[in-house]
């Protein structure tokens, strides 16, 4: 059975029927990206992914990376794949054309990423971190710095990372101790150690540009005293040429559960006292600046979860169609009855439907967050720009946390459907789960994302951000109520939305009171029910479009559209009732977790 990655029909549905991304070509900025061009982009990405990138995925998992005298070596097969990325200009697909990017809409870039990221997540992490470093330079760099770095980054000639975490400062970045001492010539001498650095070193690019969080001597304590520096592996002169080695060395690589082909490095800065960096942006504003890259990275991690989940679902549904096992339930008494494909068994269908619900819904959600970025870029008024940015801000923790948690659920079911074969390395399902398991951890754990949703996003701009999002949700519900096939489900989704508003107000008030500890003990369940409601919104939106398209649809499209409606109905009938129950629990604001004394947990 040929391995699949993503459902091309579903990608087309999301881009052209749900969001109509081809209409972005009516703006001057995206004029060249009409439907024909977009279809060609996705087709080429699919071809590259299936023919060239996917074969390197298991190789990367088997071989991993190695460290030789401070130089990380990636699997040799990665080199050709990376070269094809660069030659096809796939590194900077959505980046600024003035600096070597292709300038396509981000929502179109998602269509390509669905395949490329799903084909080899580990390899694509090098690229995602590279473009993220470029975004920081483009946003906060001087004109000189942009000339020195951006084109080489966006074309993939140079790599990029971000250096945040330290041994004593994981999620608490205010505790970092890496020092930056002025050299008197505009550069700084850096010293310190960073850990868990994705792509901290590799041998596919001639240089690597590291944005590094560090403290200038005498800076305030905590996050208020952190600055951001550019520290290239090889020093870069003002004309863009490379100079001497810059005393930033990989001293170790981690042996991980998954993403073996991605180097996770310990980076030592200035062991020999010769690590130079240049300030990026303003002194003591590093954390605020780095959040630009971190927010983009969180969306990338959500996309990573989607790609792996989609991959697992495509494998599972095709395997279930082909693998014959057991008699049909209606013929169990007939010993001579033939074995039937797994997909004919009710419990297998239940598992597949659970997988489809989240693979479909996550695709719409993550594409939508990027589509909002496109809409913001072509908006004609500041109010419209603000609205879309508000929606993005609220959705980021949901895209990152909810989607990655559900992606693990999908990948786990993907193993279950294969049975014993899913657990062995001959088949791809177990690697997909291992590769996915990191997604709830890095770029801010999912618990931190839940705290961000409750503590920051709920009250952002005096509630305007969340209200802008709710306005879009209610627009979809109103449209669905006008379509008879989905009107009843729309009412159920509306009940869940209204109850979420009630829960949000209640827990938001508690979070700002003396009951703050109890509120944040319920932050994660609140994130989950928020994600469920957003998922219901996306599935309702999809099914409304599908129901409208059924009239006059081509025969070959009818099963697809009917599948959208059935998928939404399953979620509304089987998942939302549980969500409503969770909302009751959140309103109750159980305090057991915070009332437990430390010695109540045992373990001694």
3-state secondary structure 46-84: HHHHHHHHCHHHHHHHHHCCEEECCEEECCHHHHHHHHH
Residue 341 backbone dihedrals phi, psi, to 5 degrees: -60, 150
Q: At CA 227, angle to CA 224 and CA 230, rounded to 5?
A: 165
DSSP 163: B
Contact 301, 438 (CB under 8 A): no
Bridge partners of 271?
none
Contact 343, 352 (CB under 8 A): yes
Tell me the mean pLDDT in the region 420-443. Answer: 96
Bridge partners of 198?
264
Q: Which two tokens stand for residue 234?
A: 């090889």
Among the ranges given (163-167, 407-411, 429-433), the one the predictor scored with the smallest mean pLDDT: 163-167
pLDDT bucket at 164, cuts 50 / 70 / 90: very high
User: Over the stretch 177-192, which tens digit does the pLDDT of each residue have?
Assistant: 999 999 999 999 999 9
Q: Which two tokens stand for residue 260?
A: 């073996």
Tell me the mean pLDDT in the region 62-68. Answer: 97
Q: What pLDDT score does 600 carry?
A: 86
Is residue 291's pLDDT more than 90?
Answer: no
DSSP 454: I
Query: How many alpha carbons fall within 13 Å on the CB side of residue 345?
Result: 18
72 vs 590, which has greater pLDDT?
72
Q: What pLDDT score does 153 carry?
A: 97
Is residue 1's pLDDT more than 70?
Answer: no
Is residue 172's pLDDT more than 80?
Answer: no
Between CA 585 and CA 574 the distance in angstroms is: 18
Tell me the mean pLDDT in the region 587-597. Answer: 88
Active site (catalytic) residues:
443
User: Over the stretch 516-526, which tens digit does the pLDDT of each residue have?
Assistant: 999 999 999 99
Please, is 44 exposed, middle or buried when counting C-beta atoms within 10 Å of its C-beta (0-12, 13-18, 19+)? Answer: middle
Residue 473: count other Cβ atoms within 10 Å of its Cβ: 20
Ordered by where they begin, the domains of the chain are 8-154 (1.10.540.10), 453-604 (no CATH)
Q: What pLDDT score does 571 carry?
A: 98
pLDDT bucket at 171, cuts 50 / 70 / 90: confident
Residue with tokens 């993550």: 366
Bridge partners of 530?
none
Query: How many alpha carbons fall within 13 Å on the CB side of residue 376?
Result: 17
> Cα–chain-centroid distance for residue 494?
27
Strand, helix or coil for residue 275: coil
Bridge partners of 67?
72
Tell me the mean pLDDT in the region 539-543. Answer: 98
- Dihedral sign from CA coordinates of 109, 307, 161, 234: negative
Between CA 379 and CA 27 the distance in angstroms is: 9
Between CA 277 and CA 180 the distance in angstroms is: 8
Contact 24, 106 (CB under 8 A): no
Contact 140, 228 (CB under 8 A): yes
Strand, helix or coil for residue 229: strand
Strand (E) or helix (H) holding 23: none
Mean pLDDT of the chain: 95
Is residue 6's pLDDT more than 90?
Answer: yes
Please, is 425 exposed, middle or buried when counting C-beta atoms within 10 Å of its C-beta (0-12, 13-18, 19+)? Answer: exposed
Tell me the mean pLDDT in the region 491-497. Answer: 98
Checking 80-86 for CB contacts under 8 A at 24+ apart, the result is 80/52, 81/52, 81/53, 81/56, 81/120, 81/123, 82/123, 82/126, 82/156, 82/204, 84/48, 84/52, 84/53, 85/116, 85/127, 85/156, 86/155, 86/156, 86/157
Distant-in-sequence, close-in-space partners of 161: CB < 8 Å, separation ≥ 6: 129, 130, 133, 197, 198, 199, 200, 208, 209, 210, 211
Query: How many alpha carbons fall within 13 Å on the CB side of residue 468?
Result: 23
User: Over the stretch 101-118, which tens digit does the pLDDT of each residue have?
Assistant: 999 999 999 999 999 999
The alpha-helical segments, DSSP class H, found in 30-176 are 35-48, 55-63, 76-87, 106-119, 121-140, 143-154
Tell me the mean pLDDT in the region 490-498. Answer: 98
Burial profile 301-318: b = 16 or more Cβ within 10 angstroms, e = fewer: bbbbbbbbbbbbbbbbbe
DSSP 333: T
Which among 135, 151, 147 is positioned nearest to 99, based on CA atoms? 151
């Amino acid at each position: 059975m040929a391995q699949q990655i993503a459902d091309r029909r579903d990608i087309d549905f999301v881009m052209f029927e749900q969001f109509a991304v081809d209409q972005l070509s009516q703006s001057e900025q995206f004029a060249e990206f009409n439907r024909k061009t977009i279809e060609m982009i996705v087709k080429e990405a699919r071809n590259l992914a299936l023919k060239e990138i996917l074969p390197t995925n298991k190789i990367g998992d088997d071989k991993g990376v190695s460290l030789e005298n401070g130089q990380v070596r990636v699997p040799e097969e990665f080199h050709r794949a990376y070269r094809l990325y660069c030659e096809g200009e796939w590194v900077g697909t959505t980046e600024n054309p003035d600096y070597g990017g292709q300038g396509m809409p981000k929502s179109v870039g998602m269509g390509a990423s669905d395949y490329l990221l799903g084909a080899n997540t580990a390899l694509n992490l090098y690229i995602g971190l590279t473009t993220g470093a470029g975004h920081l330079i483009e946003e906060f760099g001087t004109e000189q710095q942009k000339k020195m770095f951006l084109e080489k980054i966006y074309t993939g000639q140079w790599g990029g990372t971000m250096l945040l975490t330290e041994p004593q400062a994981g999620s608490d970045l205010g505790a970092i101790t890496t020092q930056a001492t002025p050299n008197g010539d505009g550069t700084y001498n850096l010293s310190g150690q960073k850990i868990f650095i994705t792509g901290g070193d590799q041998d596919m690019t001639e240089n690597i540009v590291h944005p590094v969080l560090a403290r200038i001597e005498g800076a305030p304590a905590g996050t208020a005293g952190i600055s951001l520096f550019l520290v290239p592996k090889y020093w870069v002169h003002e004309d863009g040429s490379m100079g001497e080695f810059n005393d930033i060395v990989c001293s170790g690589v981690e042996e991980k559960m998954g993403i073996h082909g991605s180097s996770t490095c310990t980076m030592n800065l200035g062991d020999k006292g010769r690590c130079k960096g240049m300030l990026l942006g303003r002194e003591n504003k590093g954390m605020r600046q780095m959040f630009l890259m971190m927010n983009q990275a969180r969306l990338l991690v959500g996309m990573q979860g989607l790609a792996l989940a989609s991959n697992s679902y495509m494998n599972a549904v095709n395997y279930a169609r082909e693998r014959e096992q057991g008699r049909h339930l209606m013929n169990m008494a007939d010993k001579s009855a033939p074995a039937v494909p797994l997909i004919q068994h009710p419990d297998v269908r239940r598992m597949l439907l659970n997988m489809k619900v989240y693979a479909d819904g996550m695709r719409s959600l993550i594409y939508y967050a990027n589509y909002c970025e496109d809409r913001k870029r072509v908006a004609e008024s500041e109010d419209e720009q603000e609205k879309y940015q508000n929606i993005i801000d609220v959705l980021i923790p949901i895209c990152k946390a909810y989607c990655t948690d559900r992606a693990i659920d999908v990948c786990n079911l993907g193993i279950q459907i294969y049975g014993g074969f899913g657990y062995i390395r001959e088949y791809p399902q177990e690697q997909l789960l291992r590769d996915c398991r990191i997604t709830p951890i890095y770029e801010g754990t999912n618990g931190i994302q839940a705290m961000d949703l409750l503590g920051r996003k709920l009250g952002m701009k005096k509630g305007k951000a969340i209200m802008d999002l709710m306005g879009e949700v209610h627009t979809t519900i109103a449209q669905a109520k006008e379509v008879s096939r989905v009107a009843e489900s729309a009412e159920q989704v509306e009940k869940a939305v209204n109850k979420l508003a009630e829960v949000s107000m209640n827990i938001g008030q508690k979070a700002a009171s003396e009951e703050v500890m109890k509120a944040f003990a319920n932050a994660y369940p609140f994130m989950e029910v928020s994600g469920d409601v957003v998922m219901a919104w996306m599935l309702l939106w999809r099914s409304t479009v599908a129901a409208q398209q059924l009239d006059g649809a081509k025969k070959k499209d009818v099963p697809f559209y009917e599948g959208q409606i059935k998928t939404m109905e399953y979620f509304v009938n089987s998942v939302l009732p549980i969500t409503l129950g969770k909302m009751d629990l959140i309103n109750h604001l159980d305090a057991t977790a915070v009332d437990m004394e430390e010695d109540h947990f045992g373990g001694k």
